[in-house]
């Protein structure tokens, strides 16, 4: 199911608290870093996924979604649109509930596949912007 309304976004952000950030950069000037930092500051469990790093923002980094030992509610993707289909498959495989594609990231094929597998899908939206819009915050 594609979620593109405030009520749906609100439900996701209230109910889903464990977020794997795929493509998280260790560079503080990158958007993924500020989003991940914001998520931590707002009480979410943030799990970095970047094969080139061991730790980001004090959190153990994983090379892939499959390596994360616990449950993941939201897979937040900071990757190019063409990189999303295998990430959607991985999100399905680990039992995630939401596939969230950041601003500018759109892949209809991956969205359809994730939706068919029962995941909620958010496309072309920033989780930090949506959270701040719904609950205030910077």
Q: What is the pLDDT of residues 52-88, one digit of tens each?
A: 999 999 999 999 999 999 999 999 999 999 999 999 9
Q: Which residues 6+ apart lie within 8 Å of 82 measured at CB?
A: 107
11: how many CB neighbours lie within 10 A of its CB?
13
Report the alpha-carbon distance of residue 78 to residue 84 in Å, rounded.
Answer: 9
Where in the chain are the domains? 17-115
Separation between Cα atoms, residue 116 and residue 92, nearest integer Å: 10
Average pLDDT, the chain: 96
pLDDT-derived band at 136 (thresholds 50, 70, 90) equals confident
Fold of 17-115: Rossmann fold (3.40.50)
- For the chain, the C-alpha Rg in angstroms (whole number) is 13
What global pTM score does this model have? 0.96
Confidence of residue 138 (pLDDT cuts 50, 70, 90): low
CB atoms within 10 A of CB 15: 11
């Amino acid at each position: 199911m594609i979620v593109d309304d405030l009520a749906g976004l609100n439900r996701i952000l209230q109910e889903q608290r464990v977020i794997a950030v795929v493509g998280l950069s260790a560079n503080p000037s990158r958007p993924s870093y500020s989003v991940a930092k914001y998520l931590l500051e707002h009480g979410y469990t943030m799990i970095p996924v970047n094969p080139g790093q061991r730790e980001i923002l004090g959190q153990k980094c994983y090379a892939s979604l499959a390596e994360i030992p616990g449950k993941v509610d939201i897979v937040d993707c900071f990757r190019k649109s063409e990189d999303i289909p295998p990430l959607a498959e991985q999100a399905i495989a680990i039992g995630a509930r939401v596939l969230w594609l950041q601003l500018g990231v759109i892949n209809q094929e991956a969205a359809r596949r994730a939706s068919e597998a029962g995941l909620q899908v958010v496309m072309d939206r920033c989780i930090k912007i949506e959270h701040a819009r719904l609950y205030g915050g910077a």
